[in-house]
Amino acid sequence: MTSVRTVSSILLLLLVECAARPFYPLPSRRNDRSKQPLQTFRPYNIAHRGSCGEFPEETASAYKRAIEEDADFIETDILASKDGILICFHDLTLDATTDIAQHKKFESRKRTYEVQGKNITGYFTIDFTLEELKSLRVNQRSPFRDQQYNGKFSIIIFEDFISIALGAPRVVGIYPEIKNPVFINQHVKWPIGKKFEDKFVDTLKKYGYKGTYLSKQWLKQPAFIQSFAPTSLIYISHLTDLPKILLIDDATTPTQDTNQSYWEITSNSYFDFIKDYVVGIGPWKDSIVPASNNYLQTPTDLVTRSHAYNLQVHPFIFQNDNMSLHFNFSQDPYNEYEYWIKKIGVDGLFTDFTGSLHHYQEWTNPFSMGEESASKLLDKIAYMISKFRNSYN
Amino acid sequence: MFELTAILKQPKQKSRIGAAKGRDSMASARLVPLSFLLLLVGCASRPLYPLPGKRYDGSKKPLQTFRPYNLAHRGSNGEFPEETAAAYMRAIEEGADFIEGDVLASKDGVLIMQHDVTLDDTTDIAEHKEFANRKRACNVQGTNTTGFFHFDFTLEELKSLGVKQRYPFRDQQYNRKFPIITFEEFISIALDAPRVVGIYPEIKNPAMVNQYVKWPGGKKFEDKFVETLHKYGYRGEYMSKQWLKQPAFIQSFAPTSLIYVSNLTDLPKVFLIDDITIPTQDTNQSYWEITSDKYLNFIKNYVMGIGPWKDTIVYVSENYLQLPTDLVARAHALNLQVHPYTYRNENQFLHFNFSQDPYKEYDYWINTIGVDGLFTDFTGSLHQYQEWTTPSPSGEKSATKLLDKIGSMISKYRNPQT
């Protein structure tokens, strides 16, 4: 009998030991404390769906590439699978960015749903379990971008996305979106009556994301929560003090949950109301400065008024592809960055081309800090002075 | 002058009334043509004072020579229709070191700025019904081409056309607003710039031009080309004092033309090299022959650089750059500059290595490959890239700017995260 107890206690101890956290830090994490912090002196470089100009959107590679290219934040859209797992995916349907059409066994899953007043037909993420979604491969959405990674990467989950950010060699923030919450809550149910927004915040809390904007905790693990649905943002403000951003669609689209028009939600009185819940807005850039014949017209006062209410402005989207650039910019994405950062004065930019924005910022407003760059700084000054001296001769 | 006063004096000195009358009429008869002649001389002569707009000519900002040349390919044709006055003026405004253009000739032998031998793609010739019958077929470097050829139109007729933007995805708003300009007009734009701006004209399709256009005195296209340059004072070897005042490169795909003009001018010449499948138009030599060490050794006595198509310097596969060839290394070994063409911002022209970012392309070619000049359709972008990464010093003006910059750099260093 003693041997049975001994064996079982030994087994139990072994189990505990194997499950227990090691006492030593992982060799690759030894210098965790000296991670280069988030820059906060110039507008945020927000990697829209990762570096999706180069890699298929919202894949691990797209995010890792964005981090490599010095993004301040990696951005994503959170939806849910049939079995309630939070996934990183932009469209409600799988048609445009996956190889779903090649999976004959899922043919029957094609359905039509009403989304924000319109009937949409396709393969909806909410009709697939995570395992099924993982069997698909993600494709590059835009045909004029690099197609070589098509069929190579799979959809990732919210937790994977967070791990990628936390695993970066420097502090990288996350910028997840509570996407289509009305639709998700309609079709996906979680136990104990939890909603999409609850699961969303639960995940963030699980990984230690908390703190108000620019607080010490926040700077360790920066995060913005974004959504087009004001009620979702108001709802979660009771669950977390992380900073929130109200996304604003173009002038023709009302909010999906409160059916308010663009004009209403960009009015001064609305700003006065929503500023108690969000730290900023994320408008579509052509509503800030309308375009006509592919030329920018006079800017509206949206940014000025937002700033008056201490609301940041993070417009979307900045893309290098020439068909996305208005003619004022001579097909030069750097001219566009210059305009938005210097003339309009935005506080963050959602870009598909993290590397380009980073270059622009480094060349015009470089980030130098700490002892490492002291000698580089002196070199730079010497070089500048020597050129100045020689030009006198 | 003296004659006039003498004539004016005469009637006064002699008797007044009757005789004076007769003499008066004779004197006035001589007076009128003389005063007319003087007026003519007076109006035609150069004013002795400098034009108010040109008073500070002596202190024109010189050409930069410390970083690769920004060559405005056909002017700023990313924004304006190519080779128009507007395209060139915009390029100068955007900081071009040289404005580049292709020289062809009209039916009446006037040198014009035009790239294609046909007018179809870049002008509104199709809308001019009066010229409908001028369409013809010609052999252009081995290919049968049908269209409206430049040498079938006099200058006056060419001037009646409107130039349009070649690429549909570029700004179309200036279509038909600007005319074709002459070589002399192109030169004037450069000379009139507020700083020293070089010119980079091409002796274009000389075989074809000489076939269809004849000049008096047995002169050839190349002769007229150099004459025009001489007329405006362009001369001097590369980096000589005269050259730096009015910099110029003469370029051509035809080696015999370059060798021919080397007897007429000491201005630096650049040998253009087409794709690997295309032989030279005059000597029918293959790409491999004209890029061999032997040939480069020969041609370096006549030219100071080559202008290759960039995809032959670094091969491309599936829209990705492969390993570079040794062309630049070999050219540099023979002291030949390399000015590749053409750099364009649009993503369809950018290889995927560059993530749709034209500045990454500039970075690669300038810092990794090490070229000496770049023919770009987007002068402003190249200029911005160069100014941000290798800014030009400009003396006293930037002293305060320099101090500001140092100040901001140090302050950031001192206050990292407060």
Q: Domain residue spans in chain B? A: 69-118+178-388
pLDDT on residue B34: 77
CA distances B28 to A237, B5, B40, Å, are: 103, 12, 18
Six token digits for residue A81: 């699978």
Q: Which distant-in-sequence residues (6+ apart) come within 8 Å of B395 by Cβ?
A: A388, A391, A392
Is B393 within 8 Å of A390 when comparing Cβ atoms? yes
Per DSSP bridges, beta strands A44-47 and A348-351 are parallel
What digits encode the pLDDT tens for the residues A28-69? 665 556 789 999 999 999 999 999 999 999 999 999 999 999
Give A3's pLDDT tier (boundaries 50, 70, 90): confident
pLDDT on residue B142: 83
Q: Does B380 touch chain A (CB under 8 A)?
A: yes
Superfamily of domain B69-118+178-388 in CATH is: Phosphatidylinositol (PI) phosphodiesterase (3.20.20.190)
Closest listed residue to residue A170, CA positions, set A209, A211, A217, A219: A219
Closest-approach residue (CA) in chain A for B406 = A381
pLDDT on residue A382: 72
* Mean pLDDT rounded to a whole number for chain A: 91
Distance from CA of A372 to the nearest CA of B (A): 10
Rounded to two decimals, what is the model's pTM?
0.84
Q: Which distant-in-sequence residues (6+ apart) come within 8 Å of A96 by Cβ?
A: A141
Which stretches of A302-360 are assigned E, i.e. beta strand?
Answer: 312-313, 348-351
Residue B47, pLDDT above cutoff 90:
no
Distance CA A226, CA A267 (A): 19
Distance CA A51, CA A33 (A): 27
Phi-psi region of A49 (alpha: psi -120 to 50; beta: other; left: phi over 0): left
What digits encode the pLDDT tens for the residues B254-291? 999 999 999 999 999 999 999 999 999 999 999 999 99
Closest-approach residue (CA) in chain A for B407 = A381
Is A331 within 8 Å of B395 when comparing Cβ atoms? no
* Mean pLDDT rounded to a whole number for chain B: 89
Give B396's pLDDT tier (boundaries 50, 70, 90): very low
Is B355 within 8 Å of A355 when comparing Cβ atoms? yes
Is B405 within 8 Å of A384 when comparing Cβ atoms? yes
Q: Does B168 touch chain A (CB under 8 A)?
A: no
What digits encode the pLDDT tens for the residues A159-178? 999 999 999 999 999 999 99
Place of tokens 């769906």: A49
Closest listed residue to residue A221, CA positions, set A208, A234, A236, A212: A208
Closest listed residue to residue B71, CA positions, set B190, B226, B191, B204: B190
What digits encode the pLDDT tens for the residues A88-112? 999 999 999 999 999 999 999 999 9
pLDDT on residue B12: 46
Distance from CA of A151 to the nearest CA of B (A): 17
Residue B18, pLDDT above cutoff 80:
no
Class of domain A47-91+156-363: alpha beta
Residue A391, pLDDT above cutoff 80:
no
Q: Where are the domains of chain A?
A: 47-91+156-363
Q: Where are the alpha helices (DSSP H) in B236-364?
A: 241-245, 255-261, 287-290, 293-299, 310-313, 327-333, 358-363
The partner residue sitting opposite A331, judged by closest CB among B345, B395, B409, is B345
What digits encode the pLDDT tens for the residues A108-151? 999 999 998 899 999 999 999 999 999 999 999 999 999 999 99
Burial class for A276, CB neighbours closer than 10 Å (0-12, 13-18, 19+)? exposed
CA distances A144 to A147, A319, A332, B9, B317, Å, are: 8, 12, 17, 88, 16
Q: Does B387 touch chain A (CB under 8 A)?
A: no
Distance from CA of B178 to the nearest CA of A (A): 19
pLDDT on residue B42: 61
pLDDT on residue B2: 46
Among B356, B362, B381, B386, the residue to mutate for chain A (most A Cβ within 10 A): B356
Residue A18, pLDDT above cutoff 70:
no
Residue A343, pLDDT above cutoff 70:
yes
Give B7's pLDDT tier (boundaries 50, 70, 90): very low
SS3 B201: strand
Residue A239, pLDDT above cutoff 80:
yes
